[in-house]
Chains A and B, each alone.
Chain A
């Protein structure tokens, strides 16, 4: 299994496959928002996912390069991706 670690800012690290449409937050949302220039909700906790691009309802959620679920609602870029909007 290949893992690509992308470091943004000082110590933020996201493990992503090039095909992923979600990324994992491994530092505070505020730090990431500043560093990445994306509108990430500050309420998303450590270890949770956000959408890298807009994901329409019914589209596949891809992490580690594999389909981990399907969007049950339209998800905006930067929005929290979890059990409330994927299955």
Chain B
């Protein structure tokens, strides 16, 4: 990538050449049956990152493939330094061993049924996490440049301040990121309904615009087929309370976070981008789900535009909460990473707000943590498309 891409700090070099912003020992429970025992093990190794996503057995088709893909995506994520995968039985463990063999970082698998007792299972998992933590100390470091970053763009608790402060601030940062050779992904298909003119104007080619518009059309067809008035669902009740009246109004406020770049592709849920640049990802609108899709596709960090407070974040990638609502900043200031309320009175320019976001990224590289990380906030949730057996 471009040698002129600004360096923002020191990251963690992975075997595939990608650079991590974090070096997590991930403790992944791969079936709901082992969520609790995994959590108990992490109690003893609190530096490990717990992912216990309540995965079910009996899921079918695309849903089953997505669970498999997610294991692979987590193990190969740039922010994953090492991984402990916990499962229930030997056969599932064999499948996991195959899935993790080529992940290029230390991994261990613990099988609950093969542990000979609950306490023993916790002990085995704790020792595995400790071994992985020790091995991970040798992860090589490398400069992290904007060009190395894939950034997930999200908004939640949207209100009028999101449209005037946080989203435009993110849009200006994204302009810098893309110009430097970086990658950004925006999602939440329902929130793009009504943005057709923007999609046409900001796609690299007509076929890319068509691919994105096809996602929007499918979403609208689904809503029509239900015969339900979705006002109150999206915009949500909290959006309405905050002053947003219609979905298109919410859309237009959200869309400005893509900045002035053009879309270079349209991705399915959790699909990895094939190049740098701005991508659209087809996802449900619930933030923990859409963030899960973008982070599983390899995003190392999330920029989260917030109107009223919202605790969403996919924990594998730090979530930078950016807010311009003076009331939220007054009540929830301790949870906000970048304050852009100065944009309202013109005290702060969009360029200054974008620099504040870059500065926050540099601080995260230097070891500071986001408020969501401090709270252990965030969720990994996969969408379900078919009833389970």
| A15 contacts B246, C-beta separation under 8 Å | no
Question: A1-B198, A26-B344 are contacts. A13–B164 as well, Cβ < 8 Å?
Answer: yes
**A48-B246 contact, Cβ under 8 Å, with A1-B198, A66-B197:** no
How far is A49 from B194 in the complex, measured between Cα atoms in Å?
A: 19
Q: Is B168 an interface residue (CB 8 A)?
A: yes
CB distance from B165 to the nearest CB of A (A): 9
Q: Chain A: which residue is nearest B346 at the CB level? A: A7
CA distance A67 to B164 in the complex (A): 18
Contacts A1-B256, A13-B164; is A68 near B243 (CB within 8 Å)? Answer: no
**When A7-B345, A87-B246 are in contact, do A47 and B255 touch as well, CB less than 8 Å?**
no
A residues near B240, Cβ cutoff 8 Å: 82-83
Within 8 A of B (CB), among A11-61: 11, 13, 15, 24-26, 45-49, 61
Closest Cβ–Cβ distance, residue B150 to chain A (whole Å): 23
Interfacial chain A residues near B231, Cβ < 8 Å: 83, 87
Q: Could you give 10 example pairs across A and B, Cβ below 8 Å?
A: A7-B345, A7-B346, A15-B160, A26-B160, A26-B161, A26-B344, A46-B160, A47-B160, A47-B242, A48-B160
- How many Å from the CB of B216 to the closest CB on chain A? 15
> With a CB–CB cut-off of 8 A, which chain B residues contact A25?
160, 243
Q: Is A76 an interface residue (CB 8 A)?
A: no
Known: A13-B345, A64-B252. A86 touches B246 (CB 8 A): yes
- Given A7-B345, A15-B163, A87-B246, the answer on whether A47 and B197 have CB atoms closer than 8 Å is no
Q: Any chain A CB within 8 A of the CB of B175? A: no
How far apart sit A66 and B326, CA to CA, in the bound complex (Å)?
A: 27
* Total count of chain B residues near the partner, CB < 8 A: 29
Q: Output the least CB separation between B163 and chain A (Å).
A: 7
The docked-state distance in angstroms from the alpha carbon of A3 to that of B256 is 9
Q: Which residues of A contact B256 (CB under 8 A)?
A: 1, 3
Number of interface residues of A (CB under 8 A): 28
CA–CA, A47 and B307, complex, Å? 10
User: Of B242, B252, B326, B344, which one neighbours A68 at CB under 8 angstroms?
Assistant: B252
B245 touching A66, Cβ below 8 Å: no
**Set of chain B residues within 8 Å of A82, measured between Cβ atoms:** 240, 243, 245
Instruction: Kindly state whether residue B101 has any CB partner on chain A within 8 Å.
Output: no
Evaluate contact between B249 and A68: CB separation under 8 angstroms. Answer: yes
Let me know if A45 and B243 touch, CB within 8 A.
yes
B325 touching A47, Cβ below 8 Å:
yes
Question: Which residue, B163, B197, B240, B327, has most C-beta atoms of chain A within 10 A?
Answer: B163
CB contacts (< 8 Å) of A87 on chain B: these are: 231, 246
Are B159 and A47 in touch, CB under 8 angstroms?
A: yes
Closest 4 pairs (CB-CB, A-B): A47-B160, A48-B243, A47-B243, A11-B345
Q: A13 contacts which chain B residues (CB < 8 A)? A: 164, 344-346
Q: From B248, which residue of chain A is reached at the shortest CB distance?
A: A68
